């Protein structure tokens, strides 16, 4: 699947990303969301979240994005405006990452708030709401730590290109978190039931 994604037509990814963004932004959970976490996309072979981030920031709504720490953990730090987003330096795998400070002040960490929704990337998903990640376990470990801290569980919403939604079951382990929703260009899967969304 990783090879398929790397060789996908960029125009197709762009069109599918727009369709997914439209569905995501119309979800009641997103419209009522105070604190959202959204991944920033890899340069190639991944659904582009730029539109989701731009609209979120343009509406002056709270947005947190991932940063990989030196010890290999992941945390979510706040972005403050569109200029902040546009000037982020590239980090691991060419993905833009925030620095620990913004305008000489420490960035707000998602550990200081309650995240309502986490938009989750992946390599593949299936209709049982399972997710196959990139193999590093960043999201699974973060979600486990977050839940163990006693905070209300965030809604886990996976964003998927058409080719990433498998009609066969993908392999998972006991450490892999099920998604609450999976959004594709054509449908929104809620739980184990897929429903067409116009």
Select from 77, 83, 135 the least CA-distant residue to 107: 77
137 marked as part of a ligand binding site: yes
- Radius of gyration over every alpha carbon of the chain, rounded to an integer in angstroms: 16
134 marked as part of a ligand binding site: yes
* Alpha helices (H) in the chain, listed in sequence order: 2-6, 10-25, 28-31, 50-58, 82-86, 138-148
138 marked as part of a ligand binding site: yes
131 marked as part of a ligand binding site: yes
Cα–Cα distance measured from residue 135 to residue 133, given in angstroms and rounded to the nearest whole number: 5
Q: What DSSP element (H or E) covers 126?
A: strand 124-126
Cβ density class 121-138: b for 16+ within 10 Å, e for less: bbbbbbeebbbbbeeeeb
119 marked as part of a ligand binding site: no
Select from 191, 187, 173 the least CA-distant residue to 129: 191
State how far Cα 128 lies from the chain centre: 19
Q: Which residues does the annotation place in the binding site for substrate?
A: 40, 46
Q: Which residues does the annotation place in the binding site for ATP?
A: 131-139
Q: Which residues does the annotation place in the binding site?
A: 40, 46, 131-139
């Amino acid at each position: 699947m990783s090879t398929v994604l790397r060789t996908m037509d960029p125009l197709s990814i762009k069109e599918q990303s727009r369709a997914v963004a439209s569905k995501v932004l119309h979800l009641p959970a997103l419209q009522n969301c105070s604190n959202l976490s959204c991944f920033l996309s890899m340069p190639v072979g991944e659904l582009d979240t730029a539109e989701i981030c731009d609209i979120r920031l343009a509406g002056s709504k709270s947005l947190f994005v991932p940063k990989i720490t030196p010890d290999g953990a992941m945390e979510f730090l706040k972005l403050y405006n569109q200029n902040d987003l546009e000037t982020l330096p590239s980090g691991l795998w060419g993905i833009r990452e925030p620095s620990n400070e913004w305008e000489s002040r420490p960035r707000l960490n998602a550990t200081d708030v309650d995240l309502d929704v986490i938009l989750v990337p992946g390599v593949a998903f299936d209709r049982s709401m399972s997710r196959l990640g990139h193999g590093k376990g960043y999201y699974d470990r973060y979600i486990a730590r977050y839940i163990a801290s006693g905070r209300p569980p965030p809604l886990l919403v996976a964003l998927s290109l058409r080719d990433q939604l498998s009609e066969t079951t993908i392999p998972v382990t006991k450490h892999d978190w099920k998604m609450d929703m999976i959004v594709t260009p054509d449908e929104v899967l809620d739980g184990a039931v897929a429903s067409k969304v116009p």
